[in-house]
Amino acid sequence: MGMKTSIATVSISGSLDAKLLAIANAGFTGAEIFENDLLSSHLSAREIAGLMCDLGLACTMFQPFRDLEGLPQDQRRRAFDRLERKFDVMEELGTDLLLVCSSCSPLASGDRGQILADLNEAGERAAARGLRIGYEALAWGKHVNDHRDAWALVRDVDHPALGLVLDSFHSLSRQIPSSSIGDIRPEKLFIVQVADAPVLDMDLLSWSRHFRCMPGQGDFPLDDWADAIRRIGYQGYWSLEIFNDRFRAGSASGVALDGYRSLRLLEGGIGRPSNSSSALPPRVGSRGVEFIEFAASHKEAEALGAMLRPLGFRPVARHRNKDVTRWNQGEINLVINCEPEGLAHSHDIVHGASVCAIGLAVDDVGAALERADLMRVRRFEQAIAPDEWPIPSVRGIGGSLLYFVDAGTRDAMWAHEFPHPLETSEPDPALSRVDHIAQTMQFEEFLSWLLFYVGLLDVAKTPQVEIADPMGLVQSQAVETPDGSVRFTLNGSLAHQSLTSRFVHNYFGAGVQHIAFACTDIFAAARAAIDAGLPRLSIPDNYYDDLATRWDLDPELIERMSELDILYDRDADGEYFQFYSRAFARRIFFELVERRHYAGYGAVNAPIRLAAQAAHKPEFLD
């Protein structure tokens, strides 16, 4: 495989031996040993080297060494003594590369002559022991804080044992143009460290120490940065270095797997269908949501049906062998699975009636599975009868499944799998398609599922928003295909009493909290649903009074929205109308949306909706 992968032990939680095991299991071939992990380990450096050897991991670097260059005489002598002691450790660890960060010492001089002399001295000493030094410009370094300056120093020292370390965080947090990487000679680029980060307006040190994340999870232009590095002919390790409190609180194996996925994503291009220079299977292009499958007992299925009917759905057919019913309207297929065995049943037992699977229509099922394998997304296989249509699937959020349905043969699939007709669907459906699926999860897993989607599917993420719930804050972000045919919104909250957290708690895990259906006349659709007995979410009059002050809207339109409890938003391009049902089984609810060239999800209305749901709390959730 192309890119050589490594990760710094600081990125992972747990003890050093547990970290290394997780790193090796995730598929990395190298790891940087972070000094603090060594200091806090009961293993000697030699034992660590032995463990890494057993695990098939190369020790790619030992780091960091701080405050070497530019010091006054006394401190300088001590710094070089310390350097020799660290060389001893490196020999035992079995690595020849030491990362030296640019100095942050208040005593450090910016005198270029002295810095050159000190770096040369470090190169000499390293060479004498058969070792190498990689010099990294910390974004907050006292005098050297730009990789262009660090490179100029390394170039001018011109010592074979002294090279450069590039770290995407330090360069991209300062918006240093990646074109400047073109000046670096590849044999002097000793290692490349990779991190993404959300764009935040804060001091560089705190940003770096707490908010780094995996490539694909943040906002940095990493594709251009990585391209510039590839273009100079760099052949060495790409090593993740992710300082993040959330990851350190997470599971070692989960974070390591995410790290591996993120490097494979970077290798093929984060924001591109596929990197022309890589032969990796590209991210899966999907055409739309082909079906949403609910697991339910018969009693729950009846209650669910009682909610789907007013929305205009009809049970159109039964499965050829199984206790499974297909409900339909427009392009929307909802499958209700009441089988007494299998994954759907287990799902129902754990979570209660809920979404256990989502089927995506894709052009090439085989390529989709190859991409899943590349991302180490687990396939799911369940025995099917010989006469059943095989639909491959992988594991998604909260143990649910993501099916890949061949877009070319989907009509044949439905006809084959559901040959027993029930009712006919409405000739003039009010709802046309699935607009988005909202999934709720623990805050700690949010970034992981974000990476799951952007790594597996050809989707882009929208900017992250924070939404005020009456009982806390909710973090929300969407991933969507370029044509908007598939949209997932992800929600996570740290506040224990927020509806989001209560959902995760009551549901025993992450899952689908609401489904939004698109329609072209929301007033007619909402009216029909209400008339047919759909319990709706009631929106306060104050909301509509405020609407009148915010936008230049026809009072008669506001009156109609108020009457039907329809919410409104507007962006630069268009308008958005939303209507909510009450929750089914105190768990999942439905939304109708009408988009008029509007791109978002009505984030301004989310606090109103959440407050309205919280008002129903005794019924909505325990």
Ligand X SMILES: O=C(O)c1ccc(O)c(O)c1
Q: How far apart are the C-alpha atoms of 397 and 449, rounded to whole Å?
A: 7
Which positions from 123 to 152 touch ligand X by CB under 6 A, shown as an x/- string? -------------x-x--------------
Amino acid at 597: H
Residue 336 buriedness (CB in 10 A; 0-12 / 13-18 / 19+): buried
DSSP structure class, residue 281: P
Q: Cβ closer to ligand X: 148 or 410?
A: 148
Closest CB to Mg ion among 241 and 258?
241
Binders in 193-212 for ligand X, by CB under 6 A: 193, 208-209
Question: Cβ 190 to Mg ion, closest distance in Å?
Answer: 12
Residue nearer to ligand X on the CB measure, 241 or 290: 241
User: Residue 167 or residue 469: which is nearer to Mg ion going by CB?
Assistant: 167
No. of H helices and E strands in the chain?
22, 26
5: part of which helix (H) or strand (E)? strand 4-8
CB 563 within 8 A of CB 520: no
- Single-letter amino acid code for the residue at 531: D
Helices (H), 422-495: 446-456
Q: Which does 213 bind (CB under 5 to 8 A by kind): Mg ion, ligand X, none?
A: none
- Residue nearest ligand X by beta-carbon distance: 64
Query: Is the Cβ of residue 193 or residue 476 nearer to Mg ion in the bound state?
Result: 193
Region 468-487 residues binding ligand X, contact defined as CB under 6 A: none
Whether residue 193 is annotated as binding a ligand: the answer is: yes
- Chain positions 241 to 260 lying near Mg ion, rule: CB under 5 A, are 241
Task: Name which of 139 and 361 has its Cβ closer to Mg ion.
Answer: 139
525: partner contacted, choices Mg ion, ligand X, none (Cβ within 5-8 A by kind): none
The smaller minimum CB distance to ligand X, of residues 208 and 354, is found at 208
Q: Is 147 or 264 the residue whose CB approaches ligand X more closely? A: 147
**CA–CA separation, 172 vs 158, rounded Å?**
26
417 is in an annotated binding site: no
The torsion of the CA quartet 313, 315, 317, 318, rounded to 10 degrees, works out to: 130
Q: Name the token pair of 481.
A: 């295909």
User: What string marks each residue from 178 to 207 as x (binds Mg ion by CB under 5 A) or -?
Assistant: ---------------x--------------
DSSP states along 164-193? EEEEHHHHHTTT--GGGGGGS-GGGEEEEE
569 binds, options Mg ion, ligand X, none, Cβ within 5 to 8 A by partner type: none
Residue 209 contact among Mg ion, ligand X, none, beta carbon within 5 to 8 Å by kind: ligand X
Question: Is 436 annotated as contributing to ligand binding?
Answer: yes
Where does residue 587 rank: exposed (0-12), middle (13-18), buried (19+ CB within 10 A)? Answer: buried
Say which entry of Mg ion, ligand X, none residue 118 contacts (CB below 5 to 8 A, set by partner kind).
Answer: none
514 pairs with which residues across the strands?
A: 438, 589
For the CB of residue 271, give the shortest distance to ligand X in the complex, in Å.
24
Q: What is the secondary structure of 416-475 as a DSSP string?
A: HH--EE-PPPPSS-SEEEEEEEEEEEEGGGHHHHHHHHHHHBS-EEPPPEEEEETTEEEE
Consult the annotation and say whether 136 binds a ligand. Answer: yes
- Chain centroid, CA 228 distance in Å: 24
Q: What minimum distance in Å lies between the beta carbon of 209 and ligand X? A: 6
Axis-axis angle for helices 112-128, 73-93 (nearest 10): 30
- How is residue 418 written in tokens? 């559901």
Alpha-carbon distance of 246 to 211, in angstroms, equals 9
591 is in an annotated binding site: yes
165 vs 518 by CB, closer to Mg ion:
165
Q: Considering the complex, what minimum distance in angstroms separates the CB of residue 210 from ligand X?
A: 10
**574 φ, ψ to 5°?**
-170, -160
Q: How many residues bind Mg ion (CB under 5 A)?
A: 3
Distance CA 488, CA 366 (A): 23
Q: Which does 101 bind (CB under 5 to 8 A by kind): ligand X, Mg ion, none?
A: ligand X
What string marks each residue from 223 to 242 as x (binds Mg ion by CB under 5 A) or -?
Answer: ------------------x-
Cβ contacts of 472 within 8 Å, gap of 6 or more: 493, 494, 495, 496, 497, 498, 500, 501
Instruction: Provide, rounded to whole angstroms, the least separation between the CB of residue 167 and Mg ion.
Output: 4
Cα 181 to Cα 100, 141, 220, 270, 553: the distances in Å are 19, 19, 16, 19, 52
User: Considering the rule CB under 6 A, would residue 163 count as an interface residue with ligand X?
Assistant: no
Give the burial class of 549: count Cβ atoms within 10 A of its Cβ; 0-12 exposed, 13-18 middle, 19 or more buried. Answer: exposed
Minimum distance, C-beta of residue 18 to Mg ion, in the bound complex (Å): 23
- Name which of residues 70 to 129 contact ligand X (CB under 6 A): 99, 101
Q: Which residues are annotated as a binding site for a divalent metal cation?
A: 136, 167, 193, 241
Residues that bind ligand X (CB under 6 A): 63-64, 99, 101, 136, 138, 167, 193, 208-209, 241
Q: Which residues are annotated as a binding site for Mg(2+)?
A: 436, 514, 591
Residues that bind Mg ion (CB under 5 A): 167, 193, 241
Q: Which residues are annotated as a binding site?
A: 136, 167, 193, 241, 436, 514, 591
